[in-house]
Amino acid sequence: MNMTDVLRRYEPDLKQVEEHLGKYLHSEVPFIPQVINHLITSGGKRFRPLMLLASADLCGYRGERRYPLSAVIEFIHTATLLHDDVVDGAQTRRRKPSANNVWGNAAVVLVGDFLYSRSFTLMTRDGDLAIIKLISETTNTMAEGEVFQLLKCGDVGITEEDYFTLIEKKTAVLIAAACAVGGLTAGAAPDRVEALRGFGHAMGLAFQLTDDTLDYVAAEKEFGKAIGMDIKEGKITLPLIRTLARCTAGEKETIRGIVERKQATEEDIAAVFGLIGRYDGIPYALDRARTIIAEGKARLDGEAKAALLAMADFIAERTL
């Protein structure tokens, strides 16, 4: 099974998820769904809801609860994207003007807050305390990750340990929660829920690792954002951390000056890319991602795991 097969298998379920997303976006203030739809209909792959659907399927559950809970996961993810773009001062998102660029920071922050509160409304309607507890802890951890990233922005002293802490809190915990919620909806045994959570955690780490690496090497039409944006925003990811650990003192000072300015020119970006290539930052990061994916795959069992394994392979083979 490959990713195309996965999407074909869950196409009816994903259509249900889309219908639920639209239904739950209703508000007496029409501006709110207008802002959210600007992002939520702009080409996102619904990767996190898909993880939830496949995890529930693995545990033998294909009931209706999957759809509102998938909406919860997607709304939380969308809220973080809205808030991220405000913090980063982003101009585009998925090849179109970012919401904050269209409507301003204040409106977008408040709409992101609406998405968080709507998510918790949906969870209380579902009524599963284990899921409410899990998602509550997850969103708290994600907020910590946002603050930690802000503190580390432009810091050329960031370590690999710092980096993995950051991507765990910002990305991995939500994908881990999506997989765990799939198991919880099925009433799976605690050890199986934990195995799914561990798988999702590994996929989240690997997803962010490959995403950060693609920022240096992918074509914009395939990646959905301008290449080199992390450098322009002062974000130091694993390919650059590896380079900083191996380059000369003079080269490190060059990188420091570029990153700390947060106004990198095309020449600056080319210089950093050249150093990353010289010190094997790209293959190093991708090797780490592949190792993490293999460890995550080992956590799964059962005949229905093919879809989750295919999604793991998709992460490992994203276009470079």
Domain membership flag for residue 287: yes
- C-alpha 252/C-alpha 307 separation (Å) is 43
Domain membership flag for residue 116: yes
On average, the pLDDT of the chain sits at: 91
Domain membership flag for residue 129: yes
Domain membership flag for residue 300: yes
Write out pLDDT tens, residues 150-186. 999 989 999 999 999 999 999 999 999 999 999 999 9
Number of domains, the chain? 1
The answer to whether residues 175 and 201 touch, using CB atoms and an 8 Å cutoff, is yes
Instruction: Please give the residue range of the domain that contains residue 255.
Output: 3-314
| Predicted confidence (pLDDT) at residue 304 exceeds the cutoff of 70 | no
Domain membership flag for residue 237: yes
pLDDT attached to residue 221: 45
User: How many other CB atoms sit within 10 Å of the CB of residue 287?
Assistant: 12
Of the pLDDT bands very low, low, confident and very high (cuts 50, 70, 90), residue 145 is very high
The answer to whether residues 230 and 208 touch, using CB atoms and an 8 Å cutoff, is no
Q: What are the φ/ψ torsions at residue 53 (nearest 5 degrees)?
A: -60, -45
**What is the CATH classification number for the domain harbouring 114?**
1.10.600.10
Q: What are the φ/ψ torsions at residue 218 (nearest 5 degrees)?
A: -80, 160
pTM score: 0.93
Domain membership flag for residue 46: yes
Domain membership flag for residue 282: yes
Domain membership flag for residue 320: no
Of the pLDDT bands very low, low, confident and very high (cuts 50, 70, 90), residue 88 is confident
